[in-house]
Chains A and B, each alone.
Chain A
């Protein structure tokens, strides 16, 4: 797990040679590569990558730019330059729905914070048990935990809905938050298990000899050392919960409870999907938190994804 960041960008010195090697054609064989040729190849590679990257980001950039254009120009300008700033889209979008958009941001924030706290607490407890404690049935529970990672949510969603509606929880945040306190996002349990396995056992054994119980070892030894895994979990939980549409669509029925994705969806209904300027403006508003989470949490996101393959 830790090998990733250390080797990320260390080889800039001979970077050219190496990339040249891997891109070398089949014919010419090994004898002394010409530095000019490999430099040309390297430049070509970067040009292609930058072009591909621009193509990838173009839709996003275009949406950002279009959110500042009047509606009629959105339909006529594929370019990324702006002549005037039509900031009205933002004020229009903010008030276009039943509630001001701030309400939806607040709702999303409540759900996201609940989900993060829930995942951090419940997943770390379970992970400590799986990684460090010996108890009967550990292997079987662990296998079940791994299997639940792959379980489609649809096979449980109907009875869950019935359960939560009988508890009177439809149109509350409970169905979105409570499961997180019960470690239902099992990939985070797995991620944390992987991480704890990398922490030397000597540390908790020493603590045990000093007379610490498991709760103390967990709290004073393991948790502080697994901060990177906790950060990874928090950031992924943030992004996924922020983006979660399906659960919110099912459980949240009145506009004052809507989270951002459901609110965005109701734009299509309320404007007939025609007020693109306002829709884009609020879409950008809804993407910004994810974008910043990405910006500041990249290191954790990339580590998390390459160790567990969580999407």
Chain B
């Protein structure tokens, strides 16, 4: 079961398993084994979360002690046009690249489904980019590919296109190149789809075929509903991940988010504020806004899931 499925199941209390006899509790051992994780949870996660919540109400530059300024950071956000732009860029990125990536992942997974000759080979070929895609090396490659005299324009030149655009130096196209990079890494959701497809009993399709259902009907009446928990799972995780994209935009734009802030991802802006200008209070406020946005999307996803995700149990 997936992380999301597990979370889902925690909401509904399972029928108390009274059959299992209550063993003597292992409280001490439990907490001993859990100790490293617990220390990390408080020292590296919850503590810093609370600290960042506090800092979001302060002005802090690492040198002077934090100064309480109430909601000023959040007021400042409303008038911060670069921030609003970075939200626009990030939302565009999430809303375009995630559906495209998942659609492609599902399409290829369907083609590669059961009984496919050479499955292992194709799976590797399509999966490899998603392992490399988050690396600086690939971002550097992208910088060249879509540069003014980069690979894409060489190919276009060979095809006779006169003066093709400078993809990453043009504010209208720069974001698309990063979206394309994200779509290119569809391999990991594809693997999850493949695993999900394998769980669908073959006989459903056979029965449907006997009833004369065509490919499309079988896809929409069997595959999609039975795969919907997996689609949901991929959707939730990919959205969360996409909101946090950083490396690609950083490298492709040389850290600037340019041209004209067209690749100024939210996290890149946060990085510039926090670690470029050491405006730590504002950066913390930005971080909390990001958390709220991601949490809101996740909650909306879970609510919407009631209407389209089909659970077999």
A59 touches B151 (CB 8 A): yes
Does A113 interact with chain B (Cβ within 8 Å)?
A: no
Contact with A along B1-38 (1 / 0, CB 8 A): 11110110010000000000001011101110111111
B287 touches A154 (CB 8 A): yes
Contact with B along A130-162 (1 / 0, CB 8 A): 100111101101111111111111111111111
A9 vs B194: C-alpha distance when bound (angstroms): 13
B123 nearest CB neighbor, chain A only: A302
A306 touches B275 (CB 8 A): no
Given known A126-B36, A214-B33, A261-B136, contact A45–B234 (CB-CB < 8 A): no
Q: Which of A10-18, A95-103, A226-234 lies at the interface with chain B? A: A10-18
Q: Which of B69-77, B78-86, B90-98, B112-120 lies at the interface with chain A? A: B112-120
CB distance from B233 to the nearest CB of A (A): 6
CB distance from B9 to the nearest CB of A (A): 10
Does A84 interact with chain B (Cβ within 8 Å)?
A: no
A135 touches B45 (CB 8 A): no
Given known A160-B44, A283-B141, A309-B233, contact A155–B251 (CB-CB < 8 A): no
B51 touches A159 (CB 8 A): yes
- Most chain A Cβ neighbours within 10 Å, of B3, B122, B280, B284: B3
A262 vs B103: C-alpha distance when bound (angstroms): 33
Does A35 interact with chain B (Cβ within 8 Å)?
A: no
Q: Which A residues are CB-close (under 8 A) to B123?
A: 302
B2 touches A290 (CB 8 A): no
B108 touches A52 (CB 8 A): yes
Does A40 interact with chain B (Cβ within 8 Å)?
A: no
Does A183 interact with chain B (Cβ within 8 Å)?
A: yes
Does B127 interact with chain A (Cβ within 8 Å)?
A: yes
B39 touches A162 (CB 8 A): no
B36 touches A158 (CB 8 A): no
* 8 A Cβ contacts from A175-189 to B: 179, 181-184, 186-187, 189
A7 vs B113: C-alpha distance when bound (angstroms): 12
Given known A129-B33, A159-B51, A194-B1, contact A290–B135 (CB-CB < 8 A): yes
Tell me if B's interface is mostly helix, strand, loop or mixed: helix
Does B260 interact with chain A (Cβ within 8 Å)?
A: no
A308 vs B118: C-alpha distance when bound (angstroms): 25
Q: Which B residues are CB-close (under 8 A) to A298?
A: 124
A260 vs B138: C-alpha distance when bound (angstroms): 13
A189 vs B270: C-alpha distance when bound (angstroms): 29
Does B254 interact with chain A (Cβ within 8 Å)?
A: yes
A159 touches B118 (CB 8 A): no
B247 touches A245 (CB 8 A): yes
Q: Which A residues are CB-close (under 8 A) to B135?
A: 242-243, 245, 261, 286-287, 290
A18 vs B119: C-alpha distance when bound (angstroms): 13
Q: Which A residues are CB-close (under 8 A) to B10?
A: 139, 142-143, 146
A186 vs B23: C-alpha distance when bound (angstroms): 27
Does B296 interact with chain A (Cβ within 8 Å)?
A: no
Q: Which B residues are CB-close (under 8 A) to A181?
A: 36, 40
A121 touches B36 (CB 8 A): yes
CB distance from A178 to the nearest CB of B (A): 8
B40 touches A122 (CB 8 A): yes
A57 vs B187: C-alpha distance when bound (angstroms): 12
B117 touches A163 (CB 8 A): no
A138 nearest CB neighbor, chain B only: B30
Q: Which A residues are CB-close (under 8 A) to B161?
A: none
* 8 A Cβ contacts from A4-47 to B: 4, 7-9, 11-12, 14-19, 21-27, 29-30, 42, 45-46
A179 vs B194: C-alpha distance when bound (angstroms): 33
B136 touches A286 (CB 8 A): yes
A190 touches B3 (CB 8 A): yes
Given known A24-B215, A57-B128, A133-B30, contact A157–B287 (CB-CB < 8 A): yes
CB distance from B74 to the nearest CB of A (A): 15
A15 touches B3 (CB 8 A): no
Given known A77-B154, A122-B37, A268-B251, contact A60–B23 (CB-CB < 8 A): no
Given known A26-B214, A78-B155, A290-B135, contact A63–B141 (CB-CB < 8 A): yes
A158 vs B275: C-alpha distance when bound (angstroms): 9
Q: Which B residues are CB-close (under 8 A) to A308?
A: 2-3
Q: Which B residues are CB-close (under 8 A) to A224?
A: none
CB distance from B139 to the nearest CB of A (A): 9
A113 vs B138: C-alpha distance when bound (angstroms): 23
A129 vs B31: C-alpha distance when bound (angstroms): 8
B291 touches A152 (CB 8 A): yes
A135 touches B26 (CB 8 A): yes
Q: Which B residues are CB-close (under 8 A) to A302?
A: 123, 127, 191
Does B170 interact with chain A (Cβ within 8 Å)?
A: no
A158 touches B151 (CB 8 A): no
Provide a sorted-by-A list of 11 A–B residue pairs whose CB atoms are within 8 angstroms: A15-B116, A22-B215, A46-B118, A53-B125, A122-B40, A126-B33, A133-B29, A136-B30, A159-B55, A283-B136, A283-B141
The 8 A-B residue pairs with the shortest CB-CB distance, nearest first, are A182-B40, A135-B30, A18-B115, A26-B214, A306-B195, A283-B137, A159-B51, A129-B33
Interface residues of B (CB under 8 A from A): 1-4, 6-7, 10, 23, 25-27, 29-31, 33-41, 43-45, 47-49, 51-52, 55, 62, 108, 110-120, 122-132, 134-138, 140-141, 143-145, 149, 151, 154-155, 158, 184, 188, 191-192, 194-195, 198, 205, 209-210, 212, 214-217, 233-234, 236-237, 240-241, 243-244, 246-247, 250-251, 254, 267, 270-271, 274-275, 280, 283-284, 286-288, 290-291, 294, 298
- Given A17-B115, A30-B212, A60-B132; 6 other pairs, CB 8 A cutoff: A4-B198, A135-B31, A182-B37, A182-B39, A243-B135, A283-B137
